[in-house]
Structure 1
């Protein structure tokens, strides 16, 4: 409706402008063509400064009345047109903002596909990139495949200025390099802003975020659920066999696919109930907290657990082939770990990597109460703002926010124009995790 109103005001203003222009054109035509007369005779008789002019009676009645009426009409048009023009200004401003946003998003999307998609995946859906692990002296240790996070929830967790800081200066010691000119990168300030605008355009809705978090938890407990429900596992195996045996028979394939989908839905519902039933104290479950802690980009382990963000690899066996990646817990990974020994960190849950070590009661020393701890997990670190008993916000989005949307936190006056954390109905956009989920994480971390 606001855009419709702005369009109506703009159309009315255009109509008044057209009337004014047409009226002025008629005035010129009348005075130049119709009111003029062809000159005949001598210059002495017809020169404007020599020929007799209208008398006072003509000047002060009909001629003056026409001039005054024309002036009044002009004032009326101006008096009406200016307020209407002013009323249409919000619509023009909004249109300019939307058009600029479309342009920035389009250019940012093209730049993202050229510069960023090799690591972050097409559309920012996540990917991986080859990198190396080095020792404290910078010597090569081993090649690894770094799991690059999706960017579809970035502005839930980081403010616009924090994203700009990361783009400008990178995120050491991860493979994320400096892209902005302030950090020595190739992109201008406007190009960084265009990337940020594109990132905003690919953010998931709150409902999609909630679904992604739950999907990650279900994936983690799937094995335990199938082990605890052997008949469900048997039905899953039968359903998969039926899909394979259907072959080119379309009717059989469709029936087998429907049966497999029904079994998968039952596994999902059973898994959701399994997660809800995990034991806890005073409503908070450390067992659920462990699942949330290890839940990829929606969790904490990729920053706080050594080796969680990457997998060991071996070079490709033939030119053009992708390197082989060893899954965590596999025999191949165990062999690599045994060979490298002390050159790589031990994969201790919460043992510290990009983020600090959370074990040995460090979180209890940092935060006196679980409530203080949960508040920090919800809001993250901020430049110049102290947290806990020993921490101080160091800027750059080092600790993201998990419980509130912070995309607009540093936007100031830009928030009403470029705001992300306000939904279309005017309500605030929630964070990635609910308060109950954060309480579960806190219960797990304070027990490490």
Structure 2
């Protein structure tokens, strides 16, 4: 039987998708000082140097819940963390992410709808603190089907001592919220685009107040940064705003949980204990360990961007951001494997000359699309590969879907029996 060459992208391209959810791009904020500040919030992917970083690989039992599409008529990528012991918080993030995705699909991805305007949904995450009995996460949403920048963010908090999920407003004591809100209003009034009367309306209604005060986190010096999405407290043209309340002012208003959350942010203990009944070992659930294991097994690891945006949508994504998306991922892969990748698979297969000029990485696309992200059926995914695979083909599969992983053994058995040989992309290219 004649031997064919077939690329193991069920391993190679699956590995590429691992870096999508290793962390998140988060908005950049102004540095805090000992006086309260109000500033514009940008859509930059650089995390403020005033915020402590959290190494997700140190969170035992961490799993990243991811979903994505490779269909450019409905491009989306979502991720949020699931941490043992914080199930109520995970449920809140899951509900919000699924609702946003359902809305996006209904409004921007209906069959036959023209998506030429550049609709895209990206939900990524950033750990704010994971220490002691406190867990804090920010989910950042970029919805390019929305007006303006489409950027919004929300923070989620878990109180391990009480075994309870907390909203951002839970950082402030109930009997201090009136004073806290009054201080925020005083700092916002006078800003361009902020109408005093409208501001009173926003904060006087309990539901509205909770909705706009949904993104709060501590700075490295102990202040509290409150972020407002575009249109929350000012006219949309004014953009997103932040208020940083300094440590000496916010201290008296914090709840007991807020004080513990600040302490663990400013002086993290280095370990997280949320009282989980069972905490599995992190051997295969953290991306760094898994990528390292794949590299040691001889698989080729490539770059798939930091959080899966369409790199060609230059009306929203600058060349500098393209470089950041790829360079940050390169650094993470090198940290895990000791080697900088030479290949990258552009999200959605979207690539143009601008993207090519922004990197020295060699792009990898595919010949066979299983659409496994759409059907989530192991038998269908396996049959698609087996029926369509040809000499020197590259097949697209996603290891974030259990059904795709389940399809792999049948694919390997059947194609191996037919004389196919699985190699890395670089090996294939060298033999063509």
So what's the TM-score if we normalise by structure 1? 0.22
- Give the structure, 1 or 2, with the largest relative contact order (CA under 8 Å, sep 6 or more): 2
TM-score when normalising by structure 2: 0.22
Question: Which protein has the larger Cα radius of gyration, Structure 1 or Structure 2?
Answer: 1
More helix by share: 1
